[in-house]
Amino acid sequence: MTRLAILNSGSARLCALAACVIGVPLGARAVEIGKTFATPDDAVAAFASAVRTQNVDNLRNVLGPDSDDLENPDRVQATNEFRAVAQALDQRTHLVRESETNYVIELGTNAWPFPIPVVKGKTGWSFDTAAGEKEILARRVGQNELDGIQFCIGNVEAHGD
């Protein structure tokens, strides 16, 4: 089962909340990493701390400068997003090893996979924000298609076949 297949409407909203996404640019640019950590657990702890304290500067430091593209410009919505992600972090946080150099964080009671993986580089573990941007876009497109299908099903049901 693909990550896209396990998304439901609640997970899709959490995706938007977690990444604070309004738009993800597709332009190519040099990848800059954020802070590096000794272990994936250390990376998750730093991420959780930044989210729980609603500290955008700390979050940017943890995720890296490319995370600026993920920041929600609507401060009220961003605050609500921080709270929702903090709640999911408090419910459950689990690291899933995809390879020796790549981990995905599962959040909340539905084990929602956070779109930005934790990867091992030459200097330690960090969040791969560039890969996260691509995953967020793939999920958004997928969710839009699922929403379109649901609309069509509802339309057919409303017209009685």
Q: What angle do CA 115, 38, 33 make, to 5 degrees?
A: 50
Residue 41 within any structural domain of the chain: yes
pLDDT-flagged residues of the chain (< 50)? 1-31
Q: Tokens 């009685």: give the residue.
A: 160
Closest CA to 57 of 40, 37, 77, 82: 82
For 90, the domain range is 9-21+33-158
Give residue 32's pLDDT.
57
Residue 26 within any structural domain of the chain: no
Q: How many domains does the chain have?
A: 1
Residue 84 within any structural domain of the chain: yes
CA–CA gap between residue 119 and residue 117 (Å, rounded): 6
Give residue 99's pLDDT.
96
Residue 80 within any structural domain of the chain: yes
Give residue 110's pLDDT.
92
What is the 8-class DSSP label of residue 159?
T
Residue 4 within any structural domain of the chain: no
What pTM was estimated for this model as a whole? 0.69
Give residue 88's pLDDT.
94
